[in-house]
Structure 1
C-alpha cells in the first residue's frame, strides 16, 4: 500500500498503475527466485544481437523510480527477475528463420535443422577429333556390358551438344542434443555428363560428428574421405565447371571419393596443424567388401567356367567345369582401407574452397599431404578371358568411371596412394597445386595369360608387359578482376595412368571466367573451356592385341583396337549456372 501511495504522490495515476504492476510482480515471483541475465543473444539475419529481456521503456521508468526513492532496489531486482522469467516462459519452444537455408530450432537450441538445396544446370558443346569416331577410348574409360563385364570402346561422333542437370542436391544438417553432436545428410538426384541412363535419387552423405573434444573430433558414417585437397573441396566452391580428370582418378580408394567408415581429427578452426586418421570399407558408398566375389564351382577350391569349361588347368580333384552361376566365393571381406592426412596452415586459414572469394587482406597459405592404403581390390580375372569371370561389376565399373580402366584385368591388387598439395591466397589471387603417386601391387605374380592352346591347356601367349604404377599432378591459379564478383582462372593437369607404357599420357588445359552474382559461391555463372589430349598407346588386358584367338576358349572375337589407336583430342565449352539456397 505504501508503494501505491508513494507512486501516486510522484507520478499521479500513471504511478498508481506502475505501483500495481510492481506489487503484482513481487507477489507473482517466488521468494527463492533464481538470478537471471539482463537479456540474451538472439541470432537474426546471420548476426547475433543482444536483446533486453524487459521492455526498455519500462526498465527506464523503474530505474528512475529507484533513483528517486519511489521503490527500493530490492523491489526493482524482483521486478526485473519476474519479467525475465515471464518472458522466458512465454517464448515459443520452436523457432524458424531463413539464413542461407531454412533453419528450425527446438527446445532452446537442443535440436537444430538446416535444410539447403543446390542446383546446377549445364550446357556442353564438344568438338572431338576423328580418333574418337575411329577407335574411341577402350582403355581409360571403357564401358562394361553384360553379366560378364565385357569391354566396349567408348566412341562418339565429332560434335555433341547437351544440356545436363549436373548437380541436384538436397542437404539436411544441424545438431542433436547440443551443438557438439552434429549430423549431415546429402541426397543427390543428378546425372553425370556422360550418363547413358537417367539418374536416381541416392544418398551421398549420411554421418554424425562429435566435436566435444576439439583435439579429437570423431566422424562416423558415409562421407568424403579426408585425403587430398581437390576431393575434400565441394563442387559448390570450384573455379571450373568440373574437376580435372586426374583429380577424379586419384581418390583414396581409386573407386569413389566417398566411402563408409570412421575418422578422428582435430578442429580445423582451432589448431594450425590438422590431422585426419580414417578407416573405411574401401569400395565406395553404400557397399562393403561383399560387393567383391570370385566365380567358383560348387566344389570348394575349383574355379568356374562361363559356359562349360575353364581355359586354365583345374586343380587335382576338381570335377568337370560347369557354369560359374553355381557358386561364388566372397574373398578379402576382412580387409579395410586406411587413410591419413596432415595439413599445416602456415599463414591464416585458406580453407578448401578454390579461389580467393573472400579477397583476403592478409596472405593465406597451407600445405598438406596424405597416404591411403586400399588392399585386395578385385579388378577382374588376371587374364584376357573376360567371359570366365562372372562377378559383381560394381568395383570394375567404378574404376572405369574414374578413368582407371587400364587397371582392369590385373586380378586382385593393392593400392598405395600418396598425395601432396599446396594453396596460397591473397587479395583475390589464388594458386593451388597437387601431386599424386599410386603404387599398384598385383597378388598374382608373372605376366597375365592371353591365350591357351586348348581348353584347360597351358598358356601359350602372355601379356607383353606388366602394368606399372600411376602418377599425376595439377596446378591452377585465379584472380578476381572485380573483387568478390568476377574471376578468371586457368588450370593445367598431367596424368600418366601406366608408368610402364609410353604414348598413354593424358594432358588437360582449362580456362574459366566466373561471375558470382551475390558475391558468394551460392549464386554463380561459369564459362569454362577445356582441352583434353588422351594418349591411347600402351597395353590394356582384354582390349589390346594379343586377344584370345577365335575358337580357342571364350573369346568375343579379335578386336585389334591398337592398330587404329591414336591420341584422342576433345575441345569443350561448358556454360553452368548454379544456385545454392
Structure 2
C-alpha cells in the first residue's frame, strides 16, 4: 500500500511539472544548479522545481574477517519545489525523498505510521520585515550541521555528533526573527513541534517538542548565506563568524533519539543543548559543534533478565571540529575530528573519528566529487578504517 502511495506521489510530481511547463509563463533565468523556474501569467504564484542525487561508494576492512566490505548506493535522491503563493510574502517549500536512505531509516519498528517520503512541506509567512512564521514540517532549529543542506556539506556526509543527537525534522510552528545592531546580525528562532519526527500519521504518543535558538554574527552576514554552507566557496574577503546556541526540550519523548530512531515501550523527558560556530575567510572555513543530551529520569527503559540493556534513549555528549581550505583551483582539503561519549548506563560504545576529506567543486555544490577516509576508534573493538567516494549532481 505504501509503495503505491509513494509511486502516486512521484507520478503526481511529474504531472504537475508538465502542466506548469506547458501552461505557465517561463522566467528566462533558469540555469544549471538553480532548477526550473516558472511564474504564473498573472503573477499569483511562482514555482521552482529542482532535482538532485548522490551516488556513494563506501568501503572498509572488516576487523572480524579481515576482508574488504563495500557497497555502492544511491545515498540521496530528491525532488524539490519552492516559490510563493498568492503573495510574495507567503512562500512555500516541498521536498520529497526517493532513495531507500531517505525513506527507510526511520520507519517505526512497532507501527507503520511514518510516511517518510515527505521531507519538507512548509509555508513561510513574512509577517513583518524582520519576523517570519513557518507552519508545517521542516528542519528544527537545532545544531548547525543538521540545518546545512546535505547538498552543501563539506564532507561526504555529516558527523557522528549529528547522527546521534540531531533534532532532524518535525511538524509544527516556528518563528524566525532577525535584526541588526550596527554590523552585528542577531537571529532568534522559536519552535513548537509534535516531538516525534517527520510525518507521523497517528495521534501524538508523547508530549511536544520545544526548541529555541539564538545566533550572533559579529562581523555581519555571510555572502550567499554562507554560515549554512560547507566550505568557503564565496571566498569571504573579510572575516565572518557566526556563534549560536540551541536548546530543545522534548516532553515525554517516545523515540530513541527524540525525533528519530525506534519507538520504545516507555517515555522520557529529554533535554538537549547545542553550541556551534562557523568561521570563514578567503577560502578557509572552520566549524565546531558541541551537543549534550540528558534524560533526568535515566535513559534506560528495558533490561533483560541478565541486566543487559534492551531499550534505551541515546544520551550523552559529543564534540565535532572540522576545517578546510579551498584552493584557487576549487580543490579543497579538509579535516574533521569527532568525539562521541554516550551515557554509561545506555551500554552504547564511545567513539573517536578522524576524517580527512578531499573535494573537487566543479559547479559549486551543484556538481562536485567528494572523498574522505576515516579512522574509527570504538571502545571495546578493533580500530577500523572507512573510505567513501561520492558524486553530487543537482539541477
**TM-score scaled by structure 1?**
0.56
Provide, for residues 399-451 of structure 1, a one-character-per-residue CA deviation record: whole Å limited to 9, x for no partner.
Answer: 26xxxx9xx67x32111000100111000001110001111123899x96654
Contact 1:412 1:444 in 2 (8 A): no
Which one of the candidate residues 223, 231, 237 is aligned to 1:361? 237
Take 2:89 and 2:348, find their aligned partners in 1: how far apart are those partners?
52
Is 1:104 equivalent to 2:13 in the alignment?
no
The 1:196/1:228 distance shift into structure 2, 3 A limit, reads closer
- Tell me how far 1:191 sits from its aligned partner: 2.5
Which one of the candidate residues 110, 124, 128 is aligned to 2:62? 128
Higher Cα radius of gyration: 1
Contact 1:348 1:363 in 2 (8 A): no
Take 1:201 and 1:278, find their aligned partners in 2: how far apart are those partners?
21
In the TM superposition, 1:12-411 aligns within 5 A as 94-97=25-28, 98-99=30-31, 100-130=34-64, 158-192=67-101, 202-252=117-167, 257-267=168-178, 272-287=185-200, 290=203, 292=205, 332=206, 335-350=207-222, 351-378=227-254, 398-399=260-261, 411=266
Contact 2:61 2:384 in 1 (8 A): yes
- Tell me how far 1:397 sits from its aligned partner: 11
Contact 2:195 2:258 in 1 (8 A): no
Pairwise CA RMSD: 3.4
Contact 1:281 1:289 in 2 (8 A): no
Take 1:476 and 1:179, find their aligned partners in 2: how far apart are those partners?
38
The 1:290/1:534 distance shift into structure 2, 3 A limit, reads farther
Take 2:27 and 2:94, find their aligned partners in 1: how far apart are those partners?
20
5+ residue gaps in structure 2?
Answer: 1-22, 107-114
* 2:12 alignment partner in structure 1: none
Which one of the candidate residues 496, 516, 532 is aligned to 2:341? 496
The 1:433/1:444 distance shift into structure 2, 3 A limit, reads closer
Take 2:187 and 2:282, find their aligned partners in 1: how far apart are those partners?
25
**TM-score scaled by structure 2?**
0.80
Take 1:237 and 1:432, find their aligned partners in 2: how far apart are those partners?
14
- Tell me how far 1:477 sits from its aligned partner: 0.1
- Tell me how far 1:283 sits from its aligned partner: 0.7
5+ residue gaps in structure 1?
Answer: 1-91, 134-156, 293-331, 381-394, 452-460, 536-565
3-state DSSP of counterpart to 2:162: helix
Give the number of equivalent residue pairs.
355
The 1:502/1:172 distance shift into structure 2, 3 A limit, reads closer
